[in-house]
Amino acid sequence: MLKLTRVQQFQRAVQAIFGLIIINFLFLVLSPTYRQIGNFQTIFAQATVLGIMASGSTIVLISGGLDLSVGSLLTLTSVLVGTFLLWEYPVWLCVLLGLFIATGWGLVNGLIVIGTGIPPFIVTLGMMMVLRGFAEIVAAGKDMSSFPRSFRLLGSGYTIPVLIMALVYSFTTLFLSRTKMGFYAYAIGGNPEVARLAGIRVNRLRLLYYALGGFMAGLAAVVLTARLNFANSTFGQGMELNAIAAAVIGGTSLSGGVGGALRTIVGVLIMTCLSAGLSHLGIGSSWQRVAIGIIIILAVWFDTLQRRRVLQ
- What does the binding site for another protein look like in residue numbers (CB under 8 A)? 1-2, 5-6, 9, 178-181, 183-184, 186-187, 190-191, 193-201, 257-258, 307, 310-311
- Spell 273-301 as b/e; 16+ CB within 10 A means b: bbbbbbbbeeeeeeebeebbeebbeebee
Nearer to another protein, 192 or 236 (CB): 192
Shortest distance in whole angstroms from residue 188 CB to another protein: 10
Shortest distance in whole angstroms from residue 204 CB to another protein: 10
Tell me the β-bridge partners of 144.
231
Nearer to another protein, 128 or 248 (CB): 248
* Cα–Cα separations (whole angstroms), residue 42 to 107, 156, 276: 33, 11, 9
Q: What are phi and psi of 230, to 5 degrees?
A: -170, 140
Nearer to another protein, 176 or 216 (CB): 176
Shortest distance in whole angstroms from residue 257 CB to another protein: 6
Task: Decide if 80 contacts 138 (C-beta within 8 A).
Answer: yes
d(CA 287, CA 20): 19
Nearer to another protein, 183 or 302 (CB): 183
d(CA 26, CA 47): 19
Nearer to another protein, 221 or 248 (CB): 248
**What is the Cα 49 distance to its own chain's centre?**
8
Nearer to another protein, 159 or 179 (CB): 179
Nearer to another protein, 5 or 146 (CB): 5
Nearer to another protein, 197 or 297 (CB): 197
What letter would DSSP give residue 156? S
Identify which of 170, 67, 184 has the alpha carbon closest to the alpha carbon of residue 114. Answer: 67
d(CA 6, CA 286): 39
Shortest distance in whole angstroms from residue 14 CB to another protein: 16
Contact residues for 225 (Cβ-Cβ < 8 A; gap 6+): 78, 81, 82, 147, 155, 231
Shortest distance in whole angstroms from residue 197 CB to another protein: 6
Shortest distance in whole angstroms from residue 254 CB to another protein: 14
Nearer to another protein, 35 or 201 (CB): 201
Shortest distance in whole angstroms from residue 178 CB to another protein: 5
Contact residues for 39 (Cβ-Cβ < 8 A; gap 6+): 33, 276, 280
Shortest distance in whole angstroms from residue 292 CB to another protein: 28
* Angle of CA points 181, 172, 128, to nearest 5°: 90
DSSP assignment of 4-49, as one string? HHHHHHHHHHHHHHHHHHHHHHHHHHH-TGGGSHHHHHHHHHHHHH
Shortest distance in whole angstroms from residue 105 CB to another protein: 25
